[in-house]
Amino acid sequence: MTELEAGRAERLAPVRSGAALQRYRDVLIALIAFAVLASLPLFTGSKALLDFVIRCSAYGLFATSLNLLVGYTGLTSFGHGMFFGLGAYSFGLIMQKLGVPIPVAFVATLAITAAVAAVIGAICVRLKEIYFAFVTLAFQMLIHSTILSWASFTGGDQGLRGGIPRPAFLGINLANHVHLYIASCALLVLGLLAMRQIAQSPFGYTLRMIRDNAARASFLGIDVWRAKLTVFVLAALFASMGGMVMALFVSGAYPEFAYWTISGEGIFINMLGGVSTFLGPMVGTVLLLLLNDTVTRFTEYHGIVLGVVILFFALGLRKGLLDFVAEWFAQRRDAGEGR
Amino acid sequence: MLEIRNLAKSFGGVKATNDVSLEFPDGSLTAVIGPNGAGKSTFFNLITGALKPDSGQVLLDGVDLAGRSPPEIVRHGIGRAFQVASIFKSLTVQETMLAAVSADQRSSAVLHKRFPLPETRDRAEHVMELLGLASKRHRTAATLSHGDQKLLDIALALVLEPKVLLLDEPTAGMGPEERWRMIDKVRELWETQKITVVFIEHDMDIVFKIAPKIVVLCYGRILATGTPDEIRNNTAVIDAYLGTEHAGAAA
């Protein structure tokens, strides 16, 4: 009996410290990533490279938050881009009309996003699969047309013009290109770290259970509707953060930020990078932006090239790039254990 | 004690459950049998909240649970396993157990800590040992054998420490030998865990051998209840379900 208990304790011990270690490891990786990104301006004067990283931050936050829905919960949203647009417009309008400090506008935008996402989510998450996808798409179109038709407030199809004021705060001047770059990297790393925590929390495993078998989850006492609504709102917050980074970067907000093609690009990125690993969407973001930038330089038919690439991933690999790499490593490891 | 009073459910004109009243005393083991379409699964679905009854009561220790949602009913202590193993295919056995305990401890919405929570481990470990799944803890559920998937399904119900455990055909889709192993396990669980177990079963040899009490359903009604001997010799049951051959062989 004591031997059995000893054996049990032995088996449990690594799991217990494992969860804590995993957290420290994630924080360490985040710190290193931030240090590398933040030191980049010391080595290169290339404004294009820094711009590229800023855009990766905006899209990466957006695409990774979409993966919380698609990959972790099995909720394929075709309208997630509405929160990207909402973030950009709310932030831009608050800065233009109210002239409050940037952190205040940042928090206020998150609050607005949470409220809007809670209302839209409460309607959408009752639906399943294709119905959920279509209703999210419908809400996206609703927000887009509101922006277009409410021209006196949003600038209509011209977008928010005249630039977004970027007053300095706490010694950070976002009108300065390097400051903006470092702030974007910081937001990206913090956002990813927070989303990683969500994915690896007990709630994250609740999401996986709902994805695999929602009916069974409810027979374990889980309120499926509430869990789905919670993740819908959380994902919207990070998408909104991405939108704010974008608004700061271009110093404005345009109707395209809220158009359905943004949601489409989010899905595209997730397919490119893969949805079964946490960093898949980040890899997809870099791939898509690289492709976009290089292909548009060579041909005006870049849509065809991107289409062929996505066909290669969808039909050829049948998974995203990082999914493919992760599986390859898993197979190698299993083969190694077999020997 | 689980007490069913005048439970009824119709689909269109079909009375799938028709004025069913039953009592399952604490710690009892009961088999529910009946021909296909007798309303056995519907009966389970009504008790567990998968379906809402048209009328009647489901009383667990005096609390009426009829018409409540599955999460609520589970929390009151009625767990169930499914005819087709209902599991989480991408989670490992251990993750499945830990997540289920989390759900039961109401920590399934916790965001700021890492999974798994330390306080979920002992219970998960205990049930894995109990069902012989401990050695397969790191296997992904989808890669388990059919029998192990059924065990995992039962483990999911059991890890919530229910007062009443409903098993919808625990031996469905199994070969003869595996069937007996499974049903021995069910019997062992019933004996060691001191819980009320109700199971649906098609194999009459199994039913007559292990169930102290049997309920026969037919067209949504209770045809008979009683001990194996009473059921074997009940003329209504022989006519409707068992046929004379089986009764003769048993006699």
The encoded tokens of residue A310 equal 């996505």
Q: Which pLDDT score, from 0 to 100, does residue A157 have? A: 83
Q: Which pLDDT score, from 0 to 100, does residue B246 have? A: 54
Determine the 3-state secondary structure of A304 from DSSP: helix
Beta strands in A161-285 (DSSP E): none
Task: Report the candidate in A112, A119, A163 with the shortest Cα–Cα distance to residue A139.
Answer: A119
Question: At A16, which CATH number?
Answer: 1.10.3470
- Residues B244, B207, single domain; the answer is yes
Residue A40 lies in a domain: yes
Residue A324 lies in a domain: no
Q: Which pLDDT score, from 0 to 100, does residue A305 have? A: 82
Q: Which pLDDT score, from 0 to 100, does residue B244 have? A: 58
What is the distance between the alpha carbons of residues A233 and A73, in angstroms, rounded to a whole number? 13
What value does the mean pLDDT take over residues B36-57? 89
Mean residue pLDDT of chain A comes to 87
**C-alpha distances in angstroms, A288 versus A52, A272, A321, B45?**
11, 8, 12, 48
Among the partner-chain residues B71, B88, B111, the one whose CB lies closest to the CB of A209 is: B88
- Residues B141, B92, single domain; the answer is yes
Q: Calculate how close chain A gets to B99, using CA atoms only, in Å.
A: 7
B116: preceding bond cis by omega (within 30 degrees):
yes
Q: Calculate how close chain A gets to B31, using CA atoms only, in Å.
A: 22
Ramachandran assignment for A319, one of left (phi > 0), alpha (psi -120 to 50 degrees), beta (any other): beta
Residue A304 lies in a domain: no
The answer, yes or no, to whether residue A73 has pLDDT greater than 90, is yes
- The count of residues in chain B is 251
Q: Report the chain A residue with the minimal C-alpha distance to residue B129.
A: A8
Q: What range does the domain containing B184 cover?
A: 1-77+162-250
**Interface confidence (ipTM) of the complex:** 0.84
Looking at the structure of chain A, the number of domains it has is 1
What is the distance between the alpha carbons of residues A269 and A266, in angstroms, rounded to a whole number? 5
Chain A residues in contact with B48 (beta carbon < 8 A) = 219
- Residues B138, B206, single domain; the answer is no
Residue A303 lies in a domain: no
Q: Report the chain A residue with the minimal C-alpha distance to residue B72.
A: A221
What value does the mean pLDDT take over residues A118-123? 94
- Measured from the Cβ of residue A303, the count of other Cβ atoms closer than 10 Å reads 11
The encoded tokens of residue A83 equal 């929160």
What is the distance between the alpha carbons of residues A282 and A62, in angstroms, rounded to a whole number? 10
Q: Which pLDDT score, from 0 to 100, does residue A120 have? A: 94
DSSP string, chain B: -EEEEEEEEEETTEEEEEEEEEEE-TT-EEEEE-STTSSHHHHHHHHHTSS--SEEEEEETTEE-TT--HHHHHHHTEEEE-SS----TTSBHHHHHHHHHHHHTT-TT--SSPSSPGGGHHHHHHHHHHTT-GGGTTSBGGGS-HHHHHHHHHHHHHTT--SEEEEE-TTTT--HHHHHHHHHHHHHHHHHHT-EEEEE---HHHHHHH-SEEEEEETTEEEEEE-HHHHHT-HHHIIIIIHHHHHHHH-
Among the partner-chain residues B74, B88, B116, the one whose CB lies closest to the CB of A221 is: B74
Among the partner-chain residues A205, A212, A220, the one whose CB lies closest to the CB of B115 is: A205
Among residues B141, B160, B179, which one ends one of the domains?
B160
Chain A residues in contact with B116 (beta carbon < 8 A) = 15, 19, 202, 205
Q: Could A206 and B99 be called an inter-chain contact, meaning their C-beta atoms sit closer than 8 Å?
A: yes
CA atoms within 13 A on the CB side of A50: 20
**Choice among A16-25, A130-139, A163-172, B29-38 with the minimum mean pLDDT:** A16-25
Among residues B160, B177, B202, which one ends one of the domains?
B160
- Residues B156, B169, single domain; the answer is no
The answer, yes or no, to whether residue A197 has pLDDT greater than 90, is yes
Pick A129 or A70 by higher pLDDT.
A70
Q: What range does the domain containing A46 cover?
A: 2-259
Using an 8 Å CB-CB cutoff, list residues of chain A that contact chain B: 8, 12, 15-16, 19-20, 22-23, 197-198, 200-206, 208-209, 211-213, 215-223, 226-227, 230
What value does the mean pLDDT take over residues A70-91? 93
Residue A230 lies in a domain: yes
Question: At B218, which CATH number?
Answer: 3.40.50.300
Q: Which pLDDT score, from 0 to 100, does residue A65 have? A: 96
Residue A194 lies in a domain: yes
Looking at the structure of chain B, the number of domains it has is 2
- Residues B134, B234, single domain; the answer is no
Q: Which pLDDT score, from 0 to 100, does residue A271 have? A: 86
Write out pLDDT tens, residues A14-40: 555 677 788 888 999 999 999 999 888
What is the distance between the alpha carbons of residues A169 and B101, in angstroms, rounded to a whole number? 46
**Choice among A197-211, A315-329, B60-74 with the minimum mean pLDDT:** A315-329
> With helix as H, strand as E and coil as C, how does B64-122 read?
ECCCCCHHHHHHHCEEEECCCCCCCCCCEHHHHHHHHHHHHCCCCCCCCCCCCCHHHHH
| CB distance A242 to A91 below 8 Å | no
Task: Report the candidate in A261, A262, A258 with the shortest Cα–Cα distance to residue A156.
Answer: A258
Burial of B56-69, coded b for 16+ CB within 10 Å and e otherwise, reads bbbebeeeebbbbb
Among the partner-chain residues A201, A216, A221, the one whose CB lies closest to the CB of B75 is: A221
- Residues B168, B196, single domain; the answer is yes
- Measured from the Cβ of residue A327, the count of other Cβ atoms closer than 10 Å reads 15
Write out pLDDT tens, residues A219-271: 998 999 999 999 999 999 999 999 999 999 998 889 889 888 889 889 888 88
What value does the mean pLDDT take over residues B49-57? 90
For tokens 């038919």, what's the residue?
A301
Chain A residues in contact with B69 (beta carbon < 8 A) = 218
The answer, yes or no, to whether residue B123 has pLDDT greater than 50, is yes
Confidence of residue A337 (pLDDT cuts 50, 70, 90): low
**Choice among A14-18, A94-98, B239-243 with the minimum mean pLDDT:** A14-18
| CB distance A60 to A192 below 8 Å | yes
- Residues B59, B170, single domain; the answer is yes
Among residues B130, B160, B190, which one ends one of the domains?
B160
Pick A94 or A172 by higher pLDDT.
A94
Residue A44 lies in a domain: yes
Residue A143 lies in a domain: yes
Q: Report the chain A residue with the minimal C-alpha distance to residue B114.
A: A201
Chain A residues in contact with B87 (beta carbon < 8 A) = 212-213, 216
- Bridge partner list, B92: B140
Write out pLDDT tens, residues B71-112: 899 989 999 999 888 999 999 999 999 999 999 888 888 888
Residue B61 lies in a domain: yes
Instruction: Give me the percent of chain A exceeding a pLDDT of 90.
Output: 51
DSSP A76: -
The answer, yes or no, to whether residue A276 has pLDDT greater than 90, is no
What is the distance between the alpha carbons of residues B47 and B76, in angstroms, rounded to a whole number? 12
What is the distance between the alpha carbons of residues B82 and A206, in angstroms, rounded to a whole number? 20
Write out pLDDT tens, residues B57-67: 898 988 899 88
